[in-house]
């Protein structure tokens, strides 16, 4: 128990209006396997040994082969000195090795430390140091990211894409490899093991290490609910619960689905919706190391996936770059769960029109493994909402100031959630953990509403709220209006500090190169669509894209940071 009070929540079920909108066959409560995560792969290998577990270019592994390779890697890790609870880093794009390594680490009793290829060396060094990570599995062209002298891992297993890519891509890969590595490895202080050779020579572990389900399984860096980098710690039971929730919610047929797995596995969204959900279903995973619209279309035509976890930016790119220009047969897709950022309904409708796929929006955060809400896949999803809480997941809207008052239907407040998928806490950071975890409730930092049917809608990030002359302005509401102005491809709205009114509404518009922006006409448009306090007082136009994270979410904090830098420079020069 910490010193922060928590809202008093009735548990009589009277406030869970969303349960009436669950699709037929999906219960409010699930029975979760009381086993560590390797159980998922063991069960899939036992039930579907010859089913293809993953495709990657011409390479494929059956579930039996994937299980065997994971057991071999577990033996390698134990032989390298791994003790139960030790941390092992994974610095890989989406590859078969990613799947093998995840389950191999868990079978050896280790904890996965997720390292993003998009990080810089200092960030990776910081994570390695903070988690005491001595072993890393990576790609040859990524090894320079591990070269910080103070945090170089003791053992590095290195794999490569060189022999698996098409010929033209092989040449490009060889050039990148030479440019980054030259003729020698940058890891002079580490023992380097060739991944493929080491696995071929290793026997399978005789008995995987049995880990308690309450123990940590996965650590990943995150901006968290306050924007400060922290390391979310998820247990085996957290991730197992979310995999089980997603597998049931998808209404997939065990042993019969094919899942398009192009979301990055180094993020909990890709890990849970693609890897763990897919293996829980005994699905075939279609992998690709990087999202390219044309490549993804070819994969869909070739492998006929049925399930597609995605982010709005992926759907938008597929719409604009491929589907409008050609008419590929993508009718194998049955359902798509979109998360990571707000889903414009026009993008969802267009993708559904091209593919026949049912697209619903979901919501989550790394601190919850990550999915807590999703739209029903039976056609009853309400556009513009994030759907309803998953089985065994509670959600409430509370006042933003104290978090003690449960707000009436329709009022904007902070979204709080609880369920079996909510994290253990931040790694070695009890103070930050106590700020967001209060008596089992996770305070998300997101502002939302709940309607009378129990559907939730995200209004904005709590820290993104703009207060101008005492009025609350939610950037998402303004952005949705400004996107409809002709010639505006995208928009971000932030607050600019102002002594007179607190903050001014500033709009950063991405304007089409083919259009001519007229400020007078734009202001006339906003006067008819927005309340006075919502209208942008400062308008910035650009033709280049807005800053985004790898899931496509606009990083308003970067825009605010740039604005603050401009202000400091202006003051200094003045």
pLDDT by residue for the chain (574 residues), tens only, comes to 233 344 444 443 447 999 999 999 999 999 999 999 999 999 999 999 999 999 999 999 999 999 999 999 999 999 999 999 999 999 999 999 999 999 999 999 999 999 998 888 888 998 999 999 999 999 999 999 998 878 899 999 999 999 999 988 999 999 988 888 887 778 888 999 999 999 999 999 999 999 999 999 999 988 544 444 589 999 999 999 999 999 999 999 999 999 999 999 999 999 999 999 999 999 999 999 999 999 999 999 999 999 999 988 899 889 987 777 788 889 999 999 999 888 889 899 999 999 999 999 999 999 999 999 999 999 999 999 999 999 999 999 999 989 999 999 999 999 999 999 999 999 999 999 999 999 999 999 999 999 999 999 998 888 888 888 767 788 888 998 999 999 999 999 999 887 667 789 999 999 998 889 999 999 999 998 887 889 999 999 998 889 988 778 888 888 888 877 776 776 666 5
**Residue 301 falls inside a structural domain:** no
**Residue 152 falls inside a structural domain:** yes
pLDDT at 568 (0 to 100): 72
Locus of tokens 């102002």: 498
pLDDT at 571 (0 to 100): 66
**Residue 444 falls inside a structural domain:** no
Backbone angles phi, psi at 42, to 5 degrees: -60, -45
Q: Omega of the bond prior to 370 within 30 degrees of 0, cis?
A: yes
Q: Tokens for 38, please give them.
A: 């390797």
**Residue 310 falls inside a structural domain:** no
pLDDT at 13 (0 to 100): 41
Strand (E) or helix (H) holding 511: strand 502-511
- Which of residues 211, 236, 271 is at a domain's end? 211
- Which of residues 211, 229, 254 is at a domain's end? 211
User: Taking phi first (over 0 means left), then psi (-120 to 50 degrees means alpha), and beta for anything else, what does residue 418 get?
Assistant: beta
3-state helix, strand, coil in the chain (%, to 5): 35, 25, 40
Cβ–Cβ contacts within 10 Å for residue 333, how many? 22
Angle, CA 15 vertex, CA 12 and CA 19 arms, to 5°: 95
Q: What is the CATH number of the domain that holds 567?
A: 3.30.300.30
Q: 104 Cβ partners below 8 Å, 6+ apart? A: 69, 70, 71, 72, 73, 74, 76, 77
**Residue 196 falls inside a structural domain:** yes
**Residue 172 falls inside a structural domain:** yes
**Residue 329 falls inside a structural domain:** no
Q: Which domain holds residue 469?
A: 465-573
pLDDT at 502 (0 to 100): 77
Q: What is the CATH number of the domain that holds 204?
A: 3.40.50.980
3-state secondary structure of 108: coil
- Which of residues 171, 195, 211 is at a domain's end? 211
* Alpha helix segments (H runs only) across 186-289: 195-201, 236-249, 268-270, 277-280
**Residue 519 falls inside a structural domain:** yes
pLDDT at 15 (0 to 100): 74
Total count of domains within the chain? 2
- The span from the CA of 77 to the CA of 107, in Å, is 10
Q: Is 431 exposed, middle or buried (0-12, 13-18, 19+ CB in 10 A)?
A: exposed
- Quote the pTM value: 0.85
């Amino acid at each position: 128990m910490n010193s922060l009070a928590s809202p008093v929540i009735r548990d009589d079920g009277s406030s869970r209006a969303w349960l009436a909108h669950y699709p037929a066959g999906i219960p409010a409560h699930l029975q979760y396997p009381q086993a560590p995560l390797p159980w998922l792969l063991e069960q899939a290998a036992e039930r579907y040994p010859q089913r293809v577990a993953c495709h990657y270019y011409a390479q494929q592994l059956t579930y039996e082969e994937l299980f065997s390779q994971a057991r071999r890697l577990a033996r390698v890790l134990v032989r390298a000195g791994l003790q139960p609870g030790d941390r092992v880093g994974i610095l890989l794009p989406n590859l078969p090795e990613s799947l093998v390594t995840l389950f191999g680490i868990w079978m050896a009793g280790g904890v996965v430390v997720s390292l993003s290829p998009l990080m810089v060396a200092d960030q990776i060094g910081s994570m390695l140091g903070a988690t005491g990570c001595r072993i890393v599995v990576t790609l040859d062209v990524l090894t320079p990211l591990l070269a910080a002298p103070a945090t170089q891992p003791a053992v590095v297993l290195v794999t490569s894409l060189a022999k698996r890519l098409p010929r033209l891509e092989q040449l490009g890969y060889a050039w990148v490899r030479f440019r980054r590595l030259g003729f020698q490895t940058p890891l002079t202080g580490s023992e380097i093991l060739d991944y493929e050779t080491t696995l071929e020579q290793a026997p399978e572990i005789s008995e995987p290490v049995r880990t308690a389900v309450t123990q940590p399984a996965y650590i990943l860096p995150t901006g968290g609910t306050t924007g400060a980098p922290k390391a979310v710690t998820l247990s085996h039971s957290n991730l197992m619960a979310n995999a089980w929730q997603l597998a049931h919610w998808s209404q997939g047929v065990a042993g019969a689905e094919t899942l398009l797995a192009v979301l990055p596995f180094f993020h909990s969204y890709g890990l849970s919706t693609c890897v763990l959900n897919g293996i829980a279903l005994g699905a075939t995973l279609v992998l690709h190391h990087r999202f390219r619209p044309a490549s993804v279309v070819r994969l869909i035509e070739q492998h006929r996936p049925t399930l597609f976890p995605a982010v709005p930016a992926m759907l938008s790119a597929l719409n604009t770059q491929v589907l409008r220009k050609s008419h590929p047969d993508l009718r194998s897709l049955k359902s798509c769960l979109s998360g990571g950022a707000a889903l414009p309904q026009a993008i969802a409708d267009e993708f559904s029109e091209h593919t026949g796929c049912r697209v619903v929006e979901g919501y989550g955060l790394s601190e919850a493994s990550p999915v807590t809400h999703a739209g029903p896949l039976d056609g009853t999803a309400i556009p513009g909402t994030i759907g309803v809480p998953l089985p065994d997941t509670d959600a409430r809207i509370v006042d933003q100031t104290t978090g003690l008052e449960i707000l009436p239907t329709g009022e904007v407040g902070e979204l709080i959630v609880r369920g079996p998928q909510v994290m253990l806490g931040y790694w070695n950071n009890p103070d930050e953990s106590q700020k967001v975890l209060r008596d089992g409730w996770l305070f998300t930092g997101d502002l939302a509403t709940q309607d009378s049917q129990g559907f939730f809608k995200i209004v904005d990030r709590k820290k993104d709220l703009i207060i101008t002359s005492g009025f609350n302005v939610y950037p998402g509401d303004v952005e949705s209006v400004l996107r409809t102005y002709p010639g505006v491809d995208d928009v971000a709205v932030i607050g600019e500090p102002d002594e007179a009114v607190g903050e001014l509404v500033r709009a950063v518009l991405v304007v089409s190169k083919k259009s001519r922006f007229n400020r007078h006409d734009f202001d006339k448009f906003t006067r008819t669509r927005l309340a006075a306090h919502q209208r942008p007082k400062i308008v910035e136009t650009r033709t280049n894209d807005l800053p985004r994270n790898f899931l496509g979410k606009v990083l308003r904090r970067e825009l605010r940071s740039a604005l603050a830098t401009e202000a400091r420079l202006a003051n200094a020069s003045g």
